[in-house]
Amino acid sequence: MKRLKSIYDFYTAELTYFEIEKLIRREAPGVLDFYLSSMKKPDNSKNFITRGWLFFRNLFIAFLLKLTPLRRILYTLILFFFLYGYWIGSWNWAFITFCLLNLLLAFEVADKLTAKSELELARQIQESLIPKSPPQIEDIDIACYSESAKEVGGDYLDFITSNEKTHIIIGDISGKGMAAAIYMVQVRAILHHLIDTCSNLKEILSVLNRNLYRIFRRDYFFTANIAELNGNKELKLCRAGHQPALHFSFEKKRCDFLIPRGMGLGLTDKSIFDTSMQEETVKLEPGDVVVFYTDGLTETMNEFKIEFGEDRLKNIICSSAGKTALQIQSRILMEVNRFNNLNPDDDLSIIVIKAI
Contact 224, 232 (CB under 8 A): no
Q: Tell me which residue of 184, 207, 185, 182 sits closest to 194, measured CA to CA.
A: 207
pLDDT computed for residue 123 by the predictor: 76
Separation of alpha carbons 163 and 230, rounded Å: 10
pLDDT band at 20 (very low <50, low <70, confident <90, very high): low
Whether residue 109 is contained in a domain is answered as: no
Q: Is 145 part of a structural domain of the chain?
A: yes
- Give 42-59 pLDDT, tens digit per residue: 677 778 788 888 888 888
Domain of 314, in residue numbers? 133-355
Mean pLDDT value across residues 162-174: 92
Q: Determine the pLDDT at residue 345.
A: 67
pLDDT digits (tens, 9 = 90+) for 282-302: 999 999 999 999 999 999 988
**Contact between 257 and 248 (Cβ < 8 Å):** no
What pLDDT score was predicted for residue 85?
87
Domain count along the chain: 1
Least Cα distance to 246 among 232, 228, 225 occurs for: 225
pTM of the model as a whole: 0.79
Question: What are the tens digits of pLDDT across the range 90-100?
Answer: 888 888 888 88
Average pLDDT, the chain: 87
Which range has highest mean pLDDT (31-35, 82-86, 166-170)?
166-170
Q: Which residue has the higher pLDDT, 24 or 241?
A: 241
Q: Flag whether 209 is in a domain.
A: yes
For residue 252, being part of any structural domain is answered with: yes
Whether 332 is in a domain gets the answer yes
Question: Would you say residue 20 lies in a domain?
Answer: no
Distance CA 347, CA 356 (A): 30
Q: Residue 26 has what pLDDT?
A: 61
- The verdict on residue 264 lying in a domain is yes
Residue 146 belongs to domain with CATH number: 3.60.40.10
Say what the pLDDT of residue 308 is: 94
19 domain-assigned? no
265 pLDDT exceeds 90?
A: yes
